[in-house]
Structure 1
Amino acid sequence: MNWQKSSYCSEGNSCVHVATTTETIHLTESSDPTDAILTATPAAFEALLTALKNDPHRG
């Protein structure tokens, strides 16, 4: 997979990385020692982003 670091990542070791295919979006976090990967469809990922953007508790 071709991983890209999130544009919202500041300096440091804790960054989200994204890789895409035509059917899936993969996310991983650079400081995760287990190398866990979250996989979602584009529709599910869009729903997640919408929910996060609309979260009133977001700092």
Structure 2
Amino acid sequence: MTQALNWQKSTFSGGAEGNACVEIADLRTGVAVRDSKDPAHGSLIFPPRAFSAFVETLKADTSHTTV
């Protein structure tokens, strides 16, 4: 039996329809990530610690700007 995933977009999604981003889904054993423009193309699954480290690195990166 396949579990339906609860995909979520970032509140920073750009574009008129909010499709210029990735979506994530929380899994019991990790975090799934997919392209919001092409959700049928597949997803990547990361262990929770790796995904948390990635998000913390993004938060700490001051080289990017928000438009």
Residues 1:57 and 2:40 aligned together: no
1:25: Cα distance to partner? 0.2
Larger radius of gyration: 2
Kept in 2: contact 1:16–1:30 (CA 8 A): yes
Task: Give the residue type in structure 2 aligned to 1:18.
Answer: I
1:45: Cα distance to partner? 0.6
Structure-1 separation of matches of 2:61 and 2:9: 24
Return 5+ residue gaps in structure 1 as ranges: none
Residues 1:31 and 2:50 aligned together: no
Q: Identity percentage over the alignment?
A: 34
TM-score, normalization by structure 2: 0.65
1:33: Cα distance to partner? 7.6
TM-score, normalization by structure 1: 0.71
Return 5+ residue gaps in structure 2 as ranges: none
Count of aligned residue pairs for this structure pair:
59
